[in-house]
Structure 1
Amino acid sequence: MFDQPDQSHHAILPRARGQIRAGFAWRDGATRLERLYQAGSAKAMLPPAPGCEMVLLNTSGGLTGGDRMQIAVAQDPGTRLTVTTQTAERAYRSTGGQAQVSARFSVATGAHLDLLPQETILFDRAALWRDQEVALIGDATCLWVETLVLGRAAMGEVLTRLELRDRRRITRDGRPVFVENLYLDDGALAGRDSPATLAGARALATLVMVAPDAADRLDCARAALGCDGAASAFDGKLVARLMAGDGWPLRQALMRLIGAIRPGPLPRVWQI
């Protein structure tokens, strides 16, 4: 007879670890990469672009329980930087524990950051904890977009189990400018059709611009909204929220919105 597998313990599955530390400075009339450390499954690329652009990549192919990713990016005074991702990030089903992502972006006085990651796709039974902060110093400015997609509609996926803790903060000189703590669990999914929760949407996005002229762009932002959404502005901050039945129409609406309030082309990876 064949030996029966030992059921007394579970195999210890490999977990992804990734770390990026990068610094940018103003030299020779342009923003230049000054230092870069990358380890594990976290990689950074700097493709040819009109400005300085850093593309983040997770070579593990996605996140699952027990994975750990750490990102730290610092900009010196006067720099302008766009940070994006090569493709959508995927949070897969967890067999134990949470995937944890920590990201901090420090933007010095006179500098600007466009933080434009592509969407995060959440799979059924995913467990993802993210803690992200953009720390502005002095008169620094930023544009930040975050998009979540609840499963792949084209594949007929319906999420019933989920644990998402997504903490987003923008501070200026240590004081909060924008704070959003998003928590989605099984209960939120069960009530997804309620107007008080997701109203049946499978994709949602938040755009935040922090700049002295943010309110001046409100009319352009509202005119560019092409799906369920709304925009408001106050005290040097513009916030837009969008929802759609799937990731593709939301992506198209976001591209129009970003193009309406931000000069120059989107990162090339967004256009592929």
Structure 2
Amino acid sequence: MLSPFPKSNTTKGEGHIVARLLPNGLPGLETVTYRYPLKLISPTPTADQKSTVVFLLSYGGGLVGGDSIQLAVEVTQNTKLSVVTQGHTKIFKSPSPDVVTRQGLSVRVDKDAGLCLLPDPVQPFAGSVYEQTQVFTVTASASLCLLDWVTQGRSARGEDWSFVRWKGRNEIWLTGEGAPAGDRLLLRDTVVLDEGSHARTGRGLRASMHGHGLFGTLILRGKQMARLGDFFLAEFSSLPRLGARDFRSAEAREKEDGNNKSTEEQWRLSRLKAEKQHGILWSAASIRGCVVVKFGANTVEGGRLWIGDMLSREGTISELYGDQAMMCVT
């Protein structure tokens, strides 16, 4: 029996999103298509929403060895799009090191538009092999907030960076008037976590993570994210440096600091205390108009609390994209 439905012109694992302003002036979706194992869901828009929200999912909550996902996203002029998830993206064990699970994201952000991508972290299982490539093409006035983070695996089952390989690459290209000689590469950030690193570095992957259970990268770019980027740079520059030792007792230090510090300084002291408790190590740098934040934490929850607290404290994401954009980090 012939199917009454037209044949799909997409291949397995492909998806396409086009975000555009609706006739009523609110952000909305013009196109949403996907095929297994990719799944895309967007809640019904509301009159007070600040950005269109799309959930990036996979059937069964993860990707089986050998799965491949390719998602193309277009954020048109003056539109804001938030992409989130409903839990960790699980990467299941591959039958052999040659079977690679892949996920690709190709994004174009047009004039005065913005994309906020704050998903849950990727969780590679023991024996998994994963490669991820995310390419963002932006105009001079476009904005981008990208969080890319990975966990040690299923710690409750004793997994501690027990996968075969995890590779992630993020690229940001400038197009349009700001790149007169064609698209210009602004940033290429690559992270390779490989159990075979022992042969090259003399230490295994687990040892090289120094007890961290989470590693992440936050990339900020564009005028919408300028204030947030400056916030991270300022907070990083205010971190205590080597040689800045405080010889007061812990009790005296806490009492005097609590009495003499402003609300902002008290928050910073509280944050530094939490960073020590959760083993947070982080840095921030400005690179060709992008602010890149690298961070690690002893636990996934500790890392989530830290990045969520930083983003909430500064306030740009909730102000411009709405609280839903923050659901994976708070």
TM-score of the superposition, structure 1-length normalised?
0.84
AA aligned to 1:179 is R
Segments of structure 1 that go 5 or more residues without pairing to the other structure are: 1-15
Bigger Rg, which one: 2
Name 2:221's counterpart in structure 1. 210
Amino-acid identity (%) = 22
Query: For 1:11-26, what aligned pairs fall within 5 Å after superposition?
Result: 17-26=12-21
Aligned 8 A contact 1:259 1:266 in 2:
no
- Is the aligned partner of 1:191 residue 2:187? no
Alignment root-mean-square deviation, CA: 2.4
Aligned 8 A contact 1:202 1:247 in 2:
yes
Query: For 1:135-214, what aligned pairs fall within 5 Å after superposition?
Result: 135-173=137-175, 174-188=183-197, 190-192=203-205, 197-212=208-223, 213=226
Distance 2:141 2:287 in 1: 17
Name 1:113's counterpart in structure 2. 115
Distance 2:313 2:285 in 1: 15
AA aligned to 2:28 is R
CA pair 164-271 structure 1, distance change in 2 beyond 3 A? closer
Distance 2:329 2:100 in 1: 31
Aligned 8 A contact 2:93 2:128 in 1:
yes
CA pair 34-191 structure 1, distance change in 2 beyond 3 A? same
AA aligned to 2:190 is N
Q: Which moved more, 1:258-267 or 1:35-44?
A: 258-267
Aligned 8 A contact 1:220 1:260 in 2:
no
The structure, 1 or 2, with the larger RCO (C-alpha pairs under 8 Å, 6+ apart) is 2
Name 1:66's counterpart in structure 2. 66
Deviations 1:83-126 (A, max 9, x none): 11121101111003111111111100110110111100111111
Which of 285, 302, 307 in structure 2 is aligned with 1:254?
307
CA pair 234-71 structure 1, distance change in 2 beyond 3 A? closer
AA aligned to 2:195 is D
Query: For 1:50-61, what aligned pairs fall within 5 Å after superposition?
Result: 50-51=49-50, 52-61=52-61
Corresponding residue SS for 1:60: helix
- Post-superposition offset of 1:176: 1.5
- Post-superposition offset of 1:250: 0.7
Distance 1:77 1:32 in 2: 12
Which of 106, 125, 128 in structure 2 is aligned with 1:126?
128
- Post-superposition offset of 1:181: 1.6
Q: Please state which structure has a larger fraction of its residues in helix.
A: 2
AA aligned to 1:19 is E
Distance 1:234 1:178 in 2: 7
